[in-house]
Each structure stands twice: as structure tokens, then as C-alpha cells.
């Protein structure tokens, strides 16, 4: 069976979607916290705090959600991780287009870097799942 037919799209879509939701939730919690502290300007979209959050959360959330999805997979862990990251990039890009007047090319550089980190986080999560599975697999004694 080809790799495309082995892709578990349900888990790819669920992990990518949940990772994006968590990233947005963290941003809104930071914005709420800054507002309650009386300094809402430090957490506005495209502020330094938002950019740092986007970069760190993008890698971490996609890494963690790929680990979660990887528990339900049998093979092609790195491919699944890359696809989880790609789903996140597509979701954010759709959100960007729906909420701004600009094109995808108008995204600030930290957001573009965050997209790369989403895919890298997914790939890294896939590598970790693969390594764990290899460790758990009994040694073949032919």
C-alpha cells in the first residue's frame, strides 16, 4: 500500500486543528493577562510578545499534538508529523486571509518563521514517536 493510502487523515486533521486552537488560546490568554495587568499593548497582534508566542507555541504545540496523534498510528510517523504541521499552516493562512485585507505574502516574517516551525515541530514529534516505537518493538531474532 502506498504511503498516501496509509495516511490517517482523521488524526492529521485533528492534531493540526487542535494545535492551532491551543496556539490561539495561549495568545488570547496572554492578551487577557496583559489587559488585566493594565498593559494590553504588549500582547497586541504582531507585538514582540505575540511574535515570541507564535514562534515558541508553533513548534511546541505541533510537537506535542504530533506525539498525541502518533499514539494512534502504525507507520509513517514523520510524514504524519509533517502533514500535521502543514494543516496548521493552511488553517492559519485561511484565518489570515479571512481576517486581514492583505495577501499571504503580507504576513510578517515571524509568522512565516512560525509556519516553518509548525512543520518542524510536527516532523520532530514524528521522529520521537518513531524512535519510541523502535525501542518498544521486540528485537528480531532470526
pLDDT by residue (tens digit) across 42-96? 878 888 888 999 999 999 999 999 999 999 888 889 999 999 999 999 999 999 9
For residues 78 and 104, what is the distance between their CA atoms, to the nearest angstrom?
26
The pTM assigned to this predicted structure is 0.88
When pLDDT is averaged across residues 85-110 and rounded to a whole number, the result is 91
pLDDT above 70: residue 15: yes
Maximum Cα interatomic distance, the chain, rounded to a whole number of Å: 68
Closest CA to 129 of 66, 62, 82, 60: 66
CB 84 within 8 A of CB 122: yes
pLDDT above 70: residue 1: no
Per-residue CA distances from 60 to 13, 44, 55, 99, 105 (Å): 17, 21, 9, 25, 25
Amino acid at each position: 500500500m502506498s504511503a498516501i493510502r496509509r495516511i490517517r487523515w482523521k488524526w492529521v486533521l485533528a492534531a493540526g486543528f487542535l494545535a492551532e486552537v491551543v496556539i490561539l488560546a495561549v495568545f488570547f490568554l496572554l492578551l487577557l493577562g496583559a489587559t488585566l495587568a493594565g498593559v494590553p499593548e504588549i500582547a497586541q497582534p504582531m507585538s514582540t510578545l505575540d511574535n515570541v508566542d507564535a514562534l515558541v507555541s508553533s513548534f511546541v504545540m505541533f510537537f506535542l499534538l504530533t506525539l498525541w496523534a502518533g499514539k494512534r498510528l502504525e507507520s509513517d510517523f514523520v510524514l504524519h508529523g509533517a502533514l500535521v504541521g502543514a494543516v496548521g499552516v493552511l488553517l492559519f493562512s485561511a484565518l489570515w486571509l479571512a481576517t486581514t485585507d492583505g495577501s499571504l505574502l503580507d504576513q510578517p516574517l515571524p509568522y512565516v518563521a512560525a509556519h516553518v516551525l509548525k512543520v518542524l515541530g510536527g516532523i520532530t514529534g514524528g521522529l520521537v514517536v518513531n524512535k519510541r516505537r523502535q525501542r518498544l518493538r521486540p528485537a528480531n531474532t532470526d
